[in-house]
Amino acid sequence: MLHVDLDQFVAAVEVLRRPELAGRPVVVGGRGDPTERAVVSTASYEAREFGVGSGMPLRIAARKAPDAVFLPVDAPAYTAASEEVMAALRAQPGAVVQVLGWDEAFVGVRTEDPEAYARRLQEAVFEATRLHCSVGIGDTLVRAKVATGFGKPRGVARLTAANWLEVMGPRPTRELWGVGAKVSKRLAALGITTVAELAAADPAVLAAEFGPRMGPWYGELGRGEGASEVDDTPWVARGHSRETTYQQDLEDPGQVEAALRELAERVLDDVAAEGRPVVGLTLKVRYAPFETKVFTKRIHETGDRSVVLDRLLDLSARIEPGRGIRLLGVRAEMTMPEDAREGHTPTRGGW
């Protein structure tokens, strides 16, 4: 299994369109105006040297890298470039491609020399798009994904059962795919701070902390275990979401309701195109200056827009009155195709 990850993808696409930006710090986010409320989507390697990173408010990025070029997000351009990349991967001999997003995919292949095959993938992507990528090689998807980080930029790295603990064992759990800051903090409270400690952790202890499904799964992550086949089944969205950062805080309840109705209509347009009913709602609220709350609600399966909107407004009653709101987001979860066939209850997806 190989994991292909495009290097600084969004910034690289922008530099291809504007060659004069090569070698300069480039920051992509929002409408490209660092005086507005928006966050960094991608920063070029040159911008990262100044400490600019994804998710950082643009105004802070501008302070860190005052000479950076700020550009607006152009999703259609990135989608088009991504499709070219994936087509180049699928054209390789024996490749089974599982797309993970705009800028990354797993590739499954039978080969005696995975490093040579990885180099051919890099060459094929560059010839087709002029974009560079890094490739991780592994005997599980987790190991391949983590290996890519050791190959960046433009390199190839391998992690397997033979060297996993040697390479990853001393590293903090935060460096594992699927372990964020909150989970690593909870692990630390259990005395688990390194990958090796997580790999050797008592499954019962992990299950007690994270539940009978997630606990053992984190233990598998620590050992680099998990799925060992690439699945090229077309991806089907479980839900659709929209969010808006407001340049001035919303404070009046009428403003908030109007904003929610607008977001809901956009989300429901996306849902209608799928032709599947809604079974859950998520409301994301970011209060000023920067405190985020997320509220969720299961609802009876429905395709009625008015019913969904009513349930969303019910959920909005949990918004704290009197607090300025800088961002609102709405997500609608849908039934999945297999739910209708097998009678499964849909699981709740993330934002």
Residues of the chain with CATH 3.30.1490.100: 239-342
Where do the H-state alpha helices sit in 163-303? 164-168, 181-189, 195-199, 203-210, 214-223, 253-274
pTM for this entry:
0.81
Catalytic residues: 104
CATH code assigned to 164-223: 1.10.150.20
Question: What is the location of CATH 1.10.150.20 in the chain?
Answer: 164-223
DSSP string for 286-351: EETTTEEEEEEEEEEEE--HHHHHHHHHHHGGGSPTT--EEEEEEEEEE--HHHHHH-PPPPPP--
Give, for all 351 residues of the chain, the pLDDT tens digit.
999 999 999 999 999 999 999 999 999 999 999 999 999 999 999 999 999 999 899 999 999 999 999 999 999 999 999 999 999 999 999 999 999 989 999 999 999 999 999 999 999 999 999 999 999 999 999 999 999 999 999 999 999 999 999 999 999 999 999 898 999 999 999 999 999 999 999 999 999 999 999 999 999 999 999 999 999 988 788 999 999 999 999 999 999 999 999 999 999 999 999 899 999 999 999 999 889 999 999 999 999 999 999 999 999 999 999 999 999 999 999 998 765 444 333 333 344
Query: Options 3.30.450.190, 3.60.15.10, 3.30.750.24, 3.30.70.270; which CATH number does 1-159 get?
Result: 3.30.70.270
Question: For residues 254 and 69, what is the distance between their CA atoms, to the nearest angstrom?
Answer: 38
At residue 6, the 3 state secondary structure works out as strand
Residue 299: left (phi > 0), alpha (psi -120 to 50), or beta?
beta
| Length of the chain as a residue count | 351
Question: Which residues of the chain does CATH 3.30.70.270 include?
Answer: 1-159
CATH 2.60.40.10 fits 239-342, yes or no: no
b/e 249-287 (16+ beta carbons within 10 angstroms → b)? ebeeeeebeebbeebbeebbeebeebebbbbbbbbbbbb
Helix (H) or strand (E) holding 85: helix 75-90
Please tell me what DSSP assigns to residue 139. S
